[in-house]
Amino acid sequence: MAIALDELRNGTLDIQSSKPVSFTNPVIKGFNPDPSICRVGDDFYLAVSSFEYFPGVPLYHSRDLVHWRPIGHALTRTSQLNLTGRPGSLGVFAPTLRYHKGLFYLVTTDVGGCGNFLVTATDPAGPWSEPTLIDTGCFDPSLLFDDDGRVYYTRRFHSKIAQAELDLATGKLLTPLRLIADAFSSSDAEGPHLYKINGWYYLLCAEGGTGYGHMITIGRSQSPWGPFESCPGNPILTHRHKVPHAIRYTGHGDLIELQDGSWWIVFLGTRHDPRYGYNFHVMGRETFLAPVDWIDGWPVINSGRPIELSMTGPALPSAPWDTADDDTVFCQDGLAPQWSTLRAPLSQSECERLPDGGLRLRGNATHLDGAHCPVYVCRRQTDPDFTFSATVRFNPANYGEEAGIALRQSDDCFLTLSICRESTGVFLRVRRRVLDMYQTMARIPFNGDVCHFQVSGNWTHYTFSAGQSEQALTVLDRCPIRFLSTELSTGWTGVTMGPFASGNGQVSRSTADFTRISYQAHS
């Protein structure tokens, strides 16, 4: 292995893949971190973290690893998940999704809540069971179903990795939780996944913190309890030394074997302006894909080369989905799976479907700041160059009533374009909350009750416009994207956007009707 790794580092080892296929990273755009994947026949299912957003744990389906569609969430009921009062970037951390004997298993952590728990489903689109509590403490739980019927429960434990046998029916640990490994390439290990491959137990870990030093490492043992031999090529994936580069933060992955015996890995990363690389980013940690080869019993990701936006790998059966309904806010059972709220579902009085498919919002007493449950229906920013727009019919009756569209990074970093009744009248205004700074950036009188709002973005700025129609828009403000960047807010999510309404201290008497809601990517 040492010789092969030396050849990889020197660029002299050529791993040939027959029938190569080209694809574009990330394969799931926008805030979709900590991906975990499983395969059932020719179908792939993937789960990601959701933190303070509700429903919890978005789920995706693919038939080619490249094209993914949202199919729902694992945690859709308040009996499963109660995030009320939870600060931003807490809530639901990294899940692990597995399939065994006709049943899907998902383990995850409600940080600041009940701790680590398990839910199950016969259909990944749901419904999922009520949670079976396992334990409290550190996060990033994972499961391995061994050949002899034992189930191993593995998770982070104070910067190390711990494990126990698990009773799936009760959530009871059948053996004491014990340390099985330290970090392989640093002093901090998390995101463990244990696999059994060709008689060996492999322990895949995330290390280096989920920032610029992030990486994936691996060790192996002939026992699930270790000791684990560190791969001579650790870390097997990192971009910590690739500055500048359009992709950063690479780490926290999950391996998957296809029916033809080929291997791939999904993992998180962030996109940055390709002109500079080492700069602000706002879309959060996204899901990336790379091929895996096995050399001397160790996985080699993307032939040891950096991860790129345009990739080539072994042949995959192309199976794109129809994305024509991506702007649809509602589906038969409520909000469409690409749309979310903050911390809790909205009540019927706060959010209802209009006959034409739009939505009617009535503001409650809260706003977007603080650990509240505001009236905010949102989707992820999935592209650096985009346009998000909506037509709003709103005639605020009381002082403080407000409705419009918002871009949110965290509880204290967000931007709003809205209609609001103030003490001297009704105004169109653009406001920004950046940490402890609250500013009104634009403010003009508004005499109508219908307005078309538009926000466009690029690698450097958000531009806010409003007018009587899409053809008669006036630019109100331009805001640097750095104010909503992860680097400034320090949160673990990405920017979301969508309609909001607020009574700013009281429940609104007036309702806001949003129609022609549209997100268009330009990149």
Range of the domain at 252: 2-313
How far is residue 183 CA from its own chain's centroid? 25
Q: Is residue 321 part of a domain?
A: no
Q: Is the pLDDT of residue 485 over 80?
A: yes
Q: Which residues pair with 434 in a beta bridge?
A: 413, 437
The residue among 3, 53, 63, 54 whose CA lies nearest residue 27 is 63
DSSP labels, 42-76: TEEEEE---BTEESEEEEEEESSSS-EEEEEEEE-
Structural domain count of the chain: 2
Are 252 and 214 contacting, i.e. CB atoms less than 8 angstroms apart?
A: yes
Q: Within this chain, do residues 339 and 307 fall inside the same structural domain, yes or no?
A: no
Helix or strand run (H / E) with residue 355: none
Q: Are 143 and 254 in contact (CB under 8 A)?
A: no
**Tokens at 449, concatenated:** 């009750």
Partners of 455 in the β-ladder: 388, 464
Residues 363 and 433 in one domain: yes
Q: Which residue has the higher pLDDT, 55 or 137?
A: 55
Q: Which of 313, 339, 361 is the last residue of a domain?
A: 313
The reported pTM is 0.95
Q: Which helix (H) or strand (E) holds 433?
A: strand 425-434
Residue 323 lies in a domain: no
In degrees and rounded to multiples of 5, residue 3 shows phi and psi of: -65, -45
Any catalytic annotation for residue 422? no
Distance CA 190, CA 446 (A): 52
Query: Are both 197 and 257 inside the same structural domain?
Result: yes
Q: Answer yes or no: do 334 and 287 share one domain.
A: no
The model's pLDDT over 292-308, given as tens digits with 9 standing for 90+, comes to 999 999 999 999 999 99
> Which residues are registered as beta bridge partners of 341?
54
pLDDT at 193 over 80: yes
Mean of the per-residue pLDDT values of the chain? 94
Residue 324 lies in a domain: no
* CA terminus-to-terminus distance, the chain: 41
| 16 in a structural domain | yes
For residue 321, the model assigns a pLDDT of 87
Look at residues 285, 313, 341 and tell me which one is the last residue of a structural domain: 313
Catalytic residue, chosen from 52, 190, 293, 401, is: 190
Nearest to 45 by CA among 156, 121, 146, 117: 121
Residue 322 lies in a domain: no
Decide if pLDDT at 325 tops 70. Answer: no
Which tens digits make up the pLDDT trace of 345-402? 999 999 999 999 999 999 999 999 999 999 999 999 999 999 999 999 999 999 999 9
Q: Are residues 244 and 309 in the same domain?
A: yes
Q: With respect to residue 306, please indicate whether it lies within any of the assigned structural domains.
A: yes
Examine the domain organization and report whether 469 and 339 are in the same domain: yes
Q: How far is it, in rounded angstroms, from Cα 310 to Cα 287?
A: 14
pLDDT for 11 equals 42
pLDDT at 16: 37
Q: Are residues 108 and 183 in the same domain?
A: yes
**φ, ψ (nearest 5 deg) of residue 7:** -65, -35
Whether 190 is catalytic is yes
Same domain, 496 and 362: yes
Q: Which of 278, 313, 348 is the last residue of a domain?
A: 313
Question: Helix, strand, or coil here: 298?
Answer: strand
Taking the CB of residue 160, how many other CB atoms lie within 10 A of it?
18
> What CA–CA distances, in Å, run from 432 to 244, 281, 445?
30, 18, 19
What 3-state DSSP class applies to 488? helix
Whether 216 and 68 map to the same domain: the answer is yes
pLDDT at 277: 62
Verify that 149 and 273 share a domain, yes or no. Answer: yes
The CATH number covering residue 420 comes to: 2.60.120.200
Q: Is 320 domain-assigned? A: no
Query: Is 402 found in the same domain as 302?
Result: no
In the structure encoding, which two tokens stand for residue 71, read together?
Answer: 């199919």
- If you count them, how many residues does the chain have? 523
pLDDT tens track for 455-466: 999 999 999 999
Q: Is the domain of 281 the same as that of 380?
A: no
Is 318 a member of any domain? no
Look up the CATH number of the domain holding residue 127. 2.115.10.20
Tokens found for residue 83: 């995030």
Sign of CA dihedral 443, 444, 447, 453: negative
